[in-house]
A and B are shown apart, each in its own frame.
Chain A
Amino acid sequence: MLRKPKNFSGKFLLLFLLFLNSQLAYSQGARYTISGYVRDARTGEELIGASIFVKELPNAGTQTNSYGFYSLSIPEGNYHLVAQYIGYNAKSSSVKLNQNTKLNFSLSGQETELQEVEVTSTRKNENVVRTQMGVEKLDMQEINTIPVLMGEKDVIKTMQLIPGIKSAGEGNGGFYVRGGSADQNLILLDEAPVYNASHLLGFFSVFNSDAIKNVTIYKGGMPAEYGGRLSSVLDIKMNDGNNQKFGVSGGIGLISSRINVEGPIVKEKGSFSVSARRSYADIFLKLSSDSAIRDSRLYFYDVNAKANYRINENNRVFLSGYFGKDVLGFQNLFGFDWGNATGTLRWNHLFSDKLFSNTSLIYSNYKYNIDINAGATDFNIISRIQDWNLKQDFEYYPGARSTFKFGLNSIHHKIVPGAISAGESSTINSRKLPNRYSWENAFYVSHDYKLTENLNLAYGLRVSSFSVLGPGNFYTNNAAGEPIDTTVYESGKLVKTYVNPEPRVALSYIISEKHSVKASYGRNAQYLHLLSNTTSGSPTDLWLPSGTFVKPGLADQVSLGYFRNFLDNNYEFSTEVYYKDLQNQIDYRNGAQLEFNENVEGELLIGEGRAYGIEFFLKKKYGKFNGWVGYTLSRSERKFDQINNGSYYPAKQDRTHDISLVGIYNLNEKWTFSSTFVYYTGNAVTFPSGKYRINDRIENLYTERNGYRMPAYHRLDVGATWIRKKTEKFESSWSFSIYNVYGRENAYIIQFEQSETDPSRTEAKQIALFKMVPSFSYNFKF
């Protein structure tokens, strides 16, 4: 079993050497390296994805990496280097290059975006010229301005306004990317996977936007350094903290209050940032006259903390963590809490001006705990998923037109599916489902290469493997899902290993400065699957590793795009068409017992799927009035032998039309107004086509899976931000918003039941969650 990876790593090395060779072929003559960091002048924080280019060499350009580092190797000469980043004034530096040079940039933020700041010689057509497609970066400024439910700024909710990324609905923390299911999104917080990104059963996400520096989502054509999920990667990076001066900011909202403290540990060498937030719904509970409500508990909190320290020019360490929890309960009869904890320890090391290395040790844990204490029914249930993850990433910048990335990743997963411990007088037995252990490994290499002035190629290979480890009982099930054989494996024994090569290719052709065409192909493998057969998901949904029955999910996606900027890059337009083929998808048998079932595989069905669509995106980035319009026309279908006679049927997340409109208007230095509108086709659902009487009850008769549609969803939100005071020392502002302005009753669920007015009939009853919800919050900073 060990031989295979060895073999692969041999190939990997060979491949890499080939790359190096091809690189050497044209790097003749005296070339020197300019490298350094791009930072925010005010906070000292590194800027991720800032552009660096050389005025004299239109072909030479690069972007800062996740740690703000760049490196460019160009021939000897005199140059002007320009660094730019959205929302910041670009900066130019002249360099006389006759030796390897360090050059750091400090960019200052554009104080207001009111003046249409035109910095000459900057490039604003980044979306046209970059090779990568299917990627969106969220601007934290936009996230803070866009109105949301209860005024809780939320990266996940705002992200759902981008075409191809769809909300799973109100009261549902999940989202769907290009027809994939909610568990096919890899959500990373400082590289640590977050297994449940919802607070309060899905109304809010676990990401406190005060703690977030950068959000990038990949909808397709993922770079080779990412893997493990089929549909998307949501890469969230936490703030490093201001290394210039101490600062405190915070806010008081309707649902929660938050506070952030940041500052230098050693000025310019290290900083920290701590953000915390807690909801206070439970304080309102105490006011209730109903004792059942008064004795209930319901709140969430989370803490994000990060610290970094630059040991010297070539070494820097980061430590970051997240801890959050939701608590529900009623007296001491019932308690239910769940939450994530993540931790990341990172070491940046520069082996040379051209070779950047990052080593990360990552911990991630999601668990829930249920306590029931009602007389003879006295027990406690725990369940968790815990990862230890080691990542080694290298970035190598051999010349001005080439970047290599390579590295490896090894994750140990431990899943505790469930353990019941019963009280002494309980009539329930203590019971524990066996833990499931697995080991996921991957290595990757990718090369971004500018073939000609107009043609860019990014290609790479990720090879992933997944080993199911003992101990445990592994069942062989018959077609009806009943166990016919059991194999027992000892601790540490390899039960099954899967290996998947995942090629990734992206090509872009720049027709002119204003427009380009791009194409990409990528294969992704997914080894962990979320079992959830409720409409809106639950904190108790269980992660199941691939095993002898459930094979790794595979997705192949091809996409083509056209990118065009108008009116001096003030307007960005893009359209992308994609087709995705999905293998080894999971659905459930009728009446599946997913909780506390040792042989849960027996309740699953394995099938396939396809998703395709076209996305249009028009964005105005600059000026007093900005925003975007997104439209997606798409389809997502599944096929299981046991469902709908084995023919393709629409997946729940199949949405024909999906429209989003976002408008932000900066009236003056004090006032900013914003508004969003969304419209989408209702989810595909199963409704009854008949009814029958059995057991003295009237039951619904179903004829097909997902043969109906929920009513279309639409909603208009408005918001306003008023900056009350803004000085060097103190800033304060108020945010107001109205969610669902015109009070559309959007269906949350539709129940088919006996009529309340006429018991001889049945009726369809719609339940909507939120009509109009006004909210406000107060924010401060000093």
Chain B
Amino acid sequence: MKLNHTFSILKPTVLRALLPAVMLLSSCEKVLDIDLKEAEPRVIIEANVSDQPGPYSVIITRSVSFNETNNFPTVNGAEVILSDNAGNSETLTETAPGVYKTAGFQGVPGRNYFLKIKANGQEYDAVSSMPQPIAIQELKVQKSTFGGDRLMPIIKFQDPPETGNYYRAFYIVNGKASNRLLYLDDDNHNGNIIEGNFFDPDIELKSGDVVTIVLQTINEKMYRFLREEDMSGSSQAASPANPTSHFSNNALGYFSTHGQTSATVTVP
């Protein structure tokens, strides 16, 4: 699924894999103690709505300083309202600290969605459209084409004839999702049957594993967010930056409204 990365991964991959081996030298690593500034905490929002039955969730947290532990304070007691352009609207319920869920709201492809969040006297808004879902035609697990005996899931799906389709996928093994960002545009495969390979160096598939692939059709804004998020952590980027937020008022985050399909297979 990382075809769009073919170019940008070349150099780091090559450098790390080949050069040290060739020069019979290994690069040396060490942990640095850098005096980093402490950024003002920012509101972080993750909102997902799909065409599948709910509940859909909105998670609101805050950022922390880099040197603190990975405990991110939640934003509690917010008013979260989800609505669409067909006149439906629902106020979400906080089911756990910082986690807000719908009860009866149903996403429908083709509609536009609006999210309005009021927290601590501030308001954060976002708008998003929901693309049509696309079915996974086939999911199989086979040996990697890149040599070795590593097993890799492969899916096939039909990209629509018009350009501008964007995909996000989740690679789930025995109920646990890989946290690698998997996304694809159709720039290079418009109108084709697309074959997506899934590769996570931390996952070693074995017989009996249950593999589920979730395929989301996302809009361009969401695709861009994922791409920018992915690049924001790259040590090869000359000028890393935060992904462009979907929300107003300096909150950082995304509002993804997507069509969703999935397929499951047991590794033979």
Residues of A within 8 A of B (CB): 171, 200-201, 203, 281, 284-285, 288, 290-293, 295-296, 298, 328, 331, 333, 336, 370, 372, 374-377, 381, 420, 427-429, 431, 532-536, 538, 540, 587-588, 590-591, 593, 595-596, 652, 686-703, 705-708, 711, 745, 747-755, 759-771, 773
Q: Nearest Cβ distance between residue A711 and chain B, in whole angstroms? A: 8
> Once bound together, how far apart are the Cα atoms of A292 and B187, in whole Å?
31
CB <8 Å contact, A333 and B146: yes
CB <8 Å contact, B241 and A591: yes
CB <8 Å contact, B30 and A745: yes
Residues of B within 8 A of A288 (CB): 21
Q: CB-nearest residue of chain B relative to A535? A: B238
Residues of A within 8 A of B96 (CB): none
**B86 interface hit (Cβ, 8 Å):** no
17 contacts between A and B (CB under 8 A): A285-B22, A420-B188, A428-B3, A429-B188, A532-B238, A533-B238, A534-B11, A534-B236, A534-B237, A591-B227, A686-B240, A687-B36, A688-B36, A689-B36, A701-B63, A750-B34, A768-B30
CB <8 Å contact, A696 and B243: no
Chain B, 28-39, contact with A by CB distance < 8 Å: what is the 0/1 string?
A: 111111101111
CB <8 Å contact, B239 and A689: no
**B208 interface hit (Cβ, 8 Å):** no
Given contacts A427-B189, A764-B34, contact A770 B25 (CB under 8 A): yes
> Once bound together, how far apart are the Cα atoms of A691 and B36, in whole Å?
11
Residues of A within 8 A of B224 (CB): 591
Residues of A within 8 A of B18 (CB): 293, 296, 298, 328
Q: CB-nearest residue of chain A relative to B191? A: A429
> Once bound together, how far apart are the Cα atoms of A771 and B30, in whole Å?
13
Chain B, 172-208, contact with A by CB distance < 8 Å: what is the 0/1 string?
A: 0000010101000001111111110100000000000
> Once bound together, how far apart are the Cα atoms of A751 and B29, in whole Å?
10
CB <8 Å contact, A596 and B7: yes
- Counting contact residues on chain B (CB < 8 A from A), the size range is 35 or more
CB <8 Å contact, A766 and B188: no
> Once bound together, how far apart are the Cα atoms of A70 and B211, in whole Å?
79
Among the 9-residue stretches B66-74, B121-129, B130-138, the one with 4 or more Cβ atoms under 8 Å from chain A is: B66-74
Q: CB-nearest residue of chain A relative to B16? A: A767
Residues of B within 8 A of A (CB): 3, 6-8, 10-11, 14-15, 18-19, 21-25, 27-34, 36-42, 44, 46, 61-67, 69-72, 145-148, 177, 179, 181, 187-195, 197, 224, 226-229, 231-233, 235-244, 252-254
Of B34, B65, B145, B240, the contact of A702 (CB 8 Å cutoff): B240
Residues of B within 8 A of A692 (CB): 42, 44, 61-64, 72, 252
- Residue among A376, A694, A707, A754 with max Cβ neighbours from chain B (10 Å): A694
Given contacts A701-B42, A701-B63, contact A591 B188 (CB under 8 A): no
CB <8 Å contact, B240 and A700: yes
CB <8 Å contact, A333 and B14: no
CB <8 Å contact, A767 and B253: no
Residues of A within 8 A of B33 (CB): 764
CB <8 Å contact, A535 and B237: yes
Of A171, A688, A766, the contact of B66 (CB 8 Å cutoff): A688
CB <8 Å contact, B63 and A690: yes
CB <8 Å contact, A694 and B239: no
> Once bound together, how far apart are the Cα atoms of A153 and B241, in whole Å?
38
Q: Nearest Cβ distance between residue B92 and chain A, in whole angstroms? A: 18
> Once bound together, how far apart are the Cα atoms of A587 and B239, in whole Å?
9
> Once bound together, how far apart are the Cα atoms of A216 and B224, in whole Å?
46
Of A201, A652, A686, the contact of B19 (CB 8 Å cutoff): A201
CB <8 Å contact, A690 and B65: yes
Residues of B within 8 A of A770 (CB): 25
Q: CB-nearest residue of chain B relative to A757? A: B31
Residues of A within 8 A of B238 (CB): 532-535, 652
CB <8 Å contact, A590 and B21: no
- Residue among A370, A692, A754 with max Cβ neighbours from chain B (10 Å): A692
Q: CB-nearest residue of chain B relative to A171? A: B15
- Residue among A336, A688, A748 with max Cβ neighbours from chain B (10 Å): A688
A-B complex: 7 closest residue pairs judged by Cβ atoms: A591-B228, A690-B39, A689-B39, A692-B63, A374-B145, A590-B241, A595-B7
Q: CB-nearest residue of chain A relative to B178? A: A696
CB <8 Å contact, A765 and B31: yes
Given contacts A201-B11, A593-B227, A596-B187, contact A694 B195 (CB under 8 A): no
- Residue among A284, A381, A690, A698 with max Cβ neighbours from chain B (10 Å): A690
CB <8 Å contact, A707 and B37: yes
Of B8, B28, B64, B197, the contact of A595 (CB 8 Å cutoff): B8
CB <8 Å contact, B36 and A768: no
Apart from A428-B189, A750-B235, list 13 A-B contacts with CB within 8 A.
Answer: A293-B18, A376-B195, A535-B236, A540-B7, A540-B10, A587-B239, A588-B239, A591-B224, A689-B66, A690-B63, A699-B229, A747-B32, A764-B32
Q: Nearest Cβ distance between residue B147 and chain A, in whole angstroms? A: 7
> Once bound together, how far apart are the Cα atoms of A420 and B7, in whole Å?
12
> Once bound together, how far apart are the Cα atoms of A576 and B232, in whole Å?
40
Residues of A within 8 A of B36 (CB): 687-689, 708, 764
- Residue among A698, A701, A759 with max Cβ neighbours from chain B (10 Å): A701
Residues of B within 8 A of A747 (CB): 32
> Once bound together, how far apart are the Cα atoms of A331 and B39, in whole Å?
47
CB <8 Å contact, A427 and B194: yes
> Once bound together, how far apart are the Cα atoms of A754 and B22, in whole Å?
29
Given contacts A692-B252, A771-B28, contact A687 B188 (CB under 8 A): no
Q: CB-nearest residue of chain A relative to B181? A: A695
Residues of B within 8 A of A759 (CB): 70
> Once bound together, how far apart are the Cα atoms of A36 and B3, in whole Å?
62
Q: Nearest Cβ distance between residue A171 and chain B, in whole angstroms? A: 7
> Once bound together, how far apart are the Cα atoms of A298 and B22, in whole Å?
8
Q: Nearest Cβ distance between residue B114 and chain A, in whole angstroms? A: 21
CB <8 Å contact, A762 and B70: yes
Q: CB-nearest residue of chain A relative to B34? A: A764
